[in-house]
Amino acid sequence: MLRAFLRPRVWVWLLLLGMALWTSSLTTQLYRHSRQPVDARLVLGGSIRREIVVAESVAQGNDLPVLISHGAQPPCTRIVFERAAAPVDNVWLETCAESTFDNYRYSLPTLKKWQVHRVAVITSPTHLPRAAWLAKLLLGSHGIWVDMQLVEEMGVPGNTENPLKTLLDVGRSLIWVFISQVYQPTCSSVFPLASVDLTQWRQQGFTCEHQADIDRSMGPVEGAKLATFDGGSWPL
CA-to-CA distance for 210 and 198, rounded, in angstroms? 19
Look up residue 61 and give its amino acid.
G
pTM of the model: 0.84
Cα 185 off chain centre by:
14
Burial state string for 26-58 with b = 16 or more CB within 10 A and e = fewer than 16 = eeebbeebeeeebbbbbbbbbbbbbbbbbbbbb
pLDDT of residue 8: 67
Residue 54: CA count within 13 A, CB half-sphere: 31
pLDDT tens over the chain, length 236 residues: 545 555 667 667 666 776 777 788 888 989 999 999 999 999 999 899 999 999 999 999 999 999 999 999 999 999 999 999 999 999 999 999 999 999 999 999 999 999 999 999 999 999 999 999 999 999 999 999 999 999 988 766 667 788 999 999 999 999 999 999 999 999 999 999 999 999 999 888 888 888 878 764 444 333 333 333 333 333 32
CA-to-CA distance for 80 and 89, rounded, in angstroms? 14
CA-to-CA distance for 83 and 17, rounded, in angstroms? 55
Identify the structural domains of the chain with CATH numbers, from first to last. Answer: 34-197 (3.40.50.620)
pLDDT of residue 215: 65
pLDDT of residue 211: 81
CB distance 76 to 214 below 8 Å: yes
